[in-house]
Copies of this chain bind each other. A is one copy, B any other.
Amino acid sequence: MSTPLNASLLRGFSILSLFSDQRNEISVAVVCSELNLNAATAHRFLTTLEEVGVIFSHARGKYSLGLRMSEYGALAQRTSPLVSTVQPVIDRLAMELDEAVMVARAASSGVMCVATAQANRAIAVNVKIGTILDYHATAQGKLWLAHMHAEQRDRKIKQISLKPFNPDTIIDTNNLLAELERVKQQGYATNLGEREPDIAAVAVPVVSKKGELILTLSVFGMRHRFAPDFIDHVRKKLEQAARIIRASYYT
Q: Which A residues are closer than 8 A to B by beta carbons?
A: 2-10, 12-13, 16, 19-21, 23-24, 43-45, 47-49, 51-54, 56, 58, 64-80, 82-84, 86-87, 103, 105, 107-109, 112, 114-115, 129-130, 214, 249-250
Contact = CB atoms under 8 A, between A and B. Distances in A.
Given A71-B115, A83-B67, A114-B67, A51 B5 contact: yes
B4 A75 contact: no
A51 B109 CA distance: 8
Given A6-B48, A114-B53, A69 B58 contact: no
9 contacts: A5-B51, A6-B8, A9-B49, A19-B72, A64-B80, A68-B129, A70-B80, A71-B129, A73-B76
Task: Point out which of A10, A80, A129, A250 has the most chain B C-beta atoms below 10 A from its C-beta.
Answer: A80
B105 A52 contact: no
A6 B41 CA distance: 9
Q: Oligomeric state, in number of copies?
A: 2
B79 A64 contact: yes
Contacts of A5: 44, 47-48, 51
A24 B75 CA distance: 9
Contact of A71 (B9, B67, B114): B114
A16 B72 contact: yes
B75 A21 contact: yes
A9 B48 contact: yes
A4 B44 contact: yes
B9 A45 contact: yes
A109 B86 CA distance: 36
A107 B51 contact: yes
B51 A67 contact: no
B69 A82 contact: no
A207 B77 CA distance: 32
Given A58-B249, A72-B16, A79 B3 contact: no
Contacts of A45: 6, 9
A82 B66 CA distance: 8
5 nearest A-B residue pairs (beta carbon): A73-B73, A8-B8, A65-B76, A24-B79, A69-B76
Contacts of A3: 43-44, 47
